[in-house]
Amino acid sequence: MSMIRDLRAAVRPSRVSPRKAASTSSYDTTRDPATPSAVVDCAVYREGTRVASGKPLSPHEAMRLVRRDGGFVWIGLHEPTEAEFAGIASEFGLHPLAVEDAVQAHQRPKLERYDDSLFTVFKTIHYVEHDRLTATSEVVETGEVMCFTGRDFFITVRHGGQGSLRALRHRLQDDPELLAKGPSAVLHAIADHVVDGYVAVADAVQDDIDDVETEVFSPGRKGGVSRGVDSAQIYQLKREVLEFKRAVAPLLRPMQLLSERPMRLVDPDIQKYFRDVADHLARVQEQVLGFDELLNSILQANLAQASVAQNEDMRKITAWAAIIAVPTMVTGVYGMNFDHMPELHWKYGYPLVLSLTIAMCVGIHRVLKRNGWL
């Protein structure tokens, strides 16, 4: 059982910065002409070890070896067309509805059980690097991994430029005892790999939200509103978090089913480790829900600050208009062309009116400033 205890360490990728882009897979240029071009890798595993072959195997040849000598076949495809996938679907007896979902992509995470196979959909999440958040910044990029799990086969169909499983396959091949558990061990490894990616992206998104929150509530803001972030930027980040939520939330129930309900296609020793994946996924889901609520609060606070700032600006404009109204009124009165007006021909009339005007303006200014209008 020591192998099972070390299962997560064997399949989990080393921790790297979530801000580094994931490497993409490369394709075999020496492929058998009978193999669909969408096939990234096709291999037979027997007793946990990859069976060596002199040339790249086609899915038909791989399945023939499995039926003759035992083991299981693992086929990886990247964005196959309907025609490319038709032969593989026929060879392994895949359900037409699952095949349609795998080819068309854009599916929500789910787990479906058919007669002789399990069909699982995972949404992969990749954090997109950006110098600063803008109203059009892409924060997360999504992809999809569909998995067909059978008694003696495991098929992955990947969509999107991210989420390569090449490194994961190599790590599993370095642990023959784990691969000897069959296709369900590969299913767990992929689920664990995807959820670990969620954890890394959640940490990166948390940094972005912390930056926005600090900027919005920064004491160095001018006029009560941050000069470095506006409502459009916060709303864009909220949209990206919603995309993250769509990948995480629907997957929790399938992981709970895999960990709680006995399934003949899932090894009992592997099944208990799906519970750990479900726990990690539940924690990420709580984080994402918290992100959504926090961004709502930040957005409302930013809008409230903008409204307060506008009110303050209007009060200042009104106060200055009241001050300017005094000399305007005085000059308007004395600008009338009447022959008989008090102090019009008085020697000290002009300095007196000017002094009274200034005194009234200063008095109004002091009163308004004392009341917080200026």
Which sequence spans correspond to the domains of the chain? 2-306, 309-370
Instruction: Note the pLDDT of residue 221.
Output: 52
Mean pLDDT to the nearest integer, 161-182: 88
Q: How far is CA 217 from CA 224, 228, 307, in A?
A: 9, 11, 15
Helix (H, G, I), strand (E, B) or coil at 125: strand
Q: Categorize the per-residue pLDDT at 36 as very low, low, confident or very high, splitting at 50, 70 and 90.
A: low
d(Cα 249, Cα 247) in Å, to the nearest integer?
Answer: 6
Per residue in 275-289, pLDDT (tens digit) is: 999 999 999 999 999
Contact 295, 231 (CB under 8 A): no
**Which H or E run includes 217?**
none
Per residue in 70-104, pLDDT (tens digit) is: 999 999 999 999 998 999 999 999 999 999 999 98
Which tops the pLDDT comparison, 316 or 342? 316
Instruction: Note the pLDDT of residue 77.
Output: 93
Per residue in 132-157, pLDDT (tens digit) is: 777 787 888 889 999 999 999 999 99
Contact 30, 42 (CB under 8 A): no
Mean pLDDT to the nearest integer, 115-138: 86
Which tops the pLDDT comparison, 13 or 63? 63
Q: What is the largest CA-CA distance in the chain?
A: 124
Range 2-306 classified under CATH 3.30.70.3170 = no
Mean pLDDT to the nearest integer, 222-236: 65
Share of the chain above pLDDT 90, in %: 40
Instruction: Note the pLDDT of residue 287.
Output: 93
Q: Categorize the per-residue pLDDT at 21 as very low, low, confident or very high, splitting at 50, 70 and 90.
A: very low
Taking alpha carbons only, the member of 272, 276, 265 closest to residue 112 is 265
Which residues touch 267 (CB under 8 Å, ≥6 apart)? 181, 182, 184, 185
Indicate the CATH number of 309-370 among 2.60.120.260, 3.40.50.300, 3.40.920.10, 1.20.58.340: 1.20.58.340
What's at 344, amino acid-wise? L
Which residues touch 307 (CB under 8 Å, ≥6 apart)? none
Mean pLDDT to the nearest integer, 56-80: 91
pLDDT exceeds 50 at position 122: yes
Question: Tokens for 140?
Answer: 């997360």
Per residue in 355-364, pLDDT (tens digit) is: 888 888 888 8
